[in-house]
Chains A and B, each alone.
Chain A
């Protein structure tokens, strides 16, 4: 009988993200989020708060995604 291989068998990380990830995936997702937040910040938030705030928020989210994602 053919063995059915699931994603869990690959020993990928099972964090809060809706799919299994490895370290590269989590770093990639963090970079994508970082760029996205900065672009949205430039468009909507910059008159109220400087861009450095977006960097701080992005880095906090990136840390959380890399550790727990």
Chain B
């Protein structure tokens, strides 16, 4: 029974059916709409085939290219910070220290908060004239902090907010990865005279590779499609006009469904290419590398 492929396919079929109906069919629909002009407020109702016009418009759209640049900047800084912090926290949690159980509980709290609530909390923290962050920055360091006026401040606040929200997730995955590393190779390396950095680079990191890859993938996909918390924080103001927010603006207030679909597809394309390049770089599939 175990080797019967029919039973395997039968057991897989509900999942495949759900994926087909809720994943693949909407993708094909968006692909179709992307080749059409469709604006419910246009003089001509319904879809009108326009070929590559939406994509022609997209490659010259400076708002879109700016949003992609901002999103990549946001994703790079947020994910790198989360990985470093998450790894350090996971290392800390593998050791014994007083109050470890308490820290372990509270450090996962941000994960339980819905993104829209995270945005609301941070909005209350940074709102000028009310939030404590602008007040103390002004009082102690004489820094004018207004995310609505300074795009850089809005971007960095978004990065810090994302780090606050998602570092616990990275910590948990890293902790799982670190716990699964066998002790023998680490001890062998130490006996052979490897220092801490060498143990990390040649033993810990290769063992963590699958966990690292999965975590980076999940975080990249999440970071690229970030909308709700950043929207709540800065209302899509300068510095936070990420791709997700740009798509929302095109599709909902402007009701330009055809163009919105084409932007969504190109964003998906960029996400897939980015993840694939990282997969090749991290997974050890390059020639001459041992997996």
Chain A residues in contact with chain B, CB under 8 A?
4-7, 14, 18-20, 28, 32, 35-36, 38-39, 42-43, 46, 51
Count B interface residues, CB 8 Å.
Answer: 18
Apart from A19-B286, A20-B285, A36-B273, 6 more pairs, CB < 8 Å: A6-B290, A19-B280, A20-B287, A38-B52, A39-B55, A39-B59
Q: Count CB-based A-B contacts (< 8 Å).
A: 40
**A26, chain B: closest CB distance, angstroms:** 13
Residues in A with CB closer than 8 Å to B273 are 32, 36
Encode contact with A along B261-277: 1 for CB under 8 Å, 0 otherwise: 00000100100110010
Kindly list chain A residues whose C-beta atoms are within 8 Å of the C-beta of B52.
Answer: 38, 42, 51
**Residue from B60, B272, B276, B289 within 8 A of A7 (CB atoms):** B289
Q: Does B44 contact A (CB under 8 A)?
A: no
- Residues in B neighbouring A38, C-beta threshold 8 A: 52, 55
Interface check B291, CB cutoff 8 A: yes
Q: How far does the alpha carbon of A6 sit from the alpha carbon of B291 in the complex, in Å?
A: 6
In this assembly, does B96 line the interface, its C-beta being within 8 Å of a C-beta of chain A? Answer: no
Q: Are A43 and B59 in contact (CB under 8 A)?
A: yes
- Chain B hits for A42, CB < 8 A: 52, 55-56, 59
Query: Given contacts A19-B280, A32-B273, A32-B276, is CB(A39)–CB(B286) below 8 Å?
Result: no
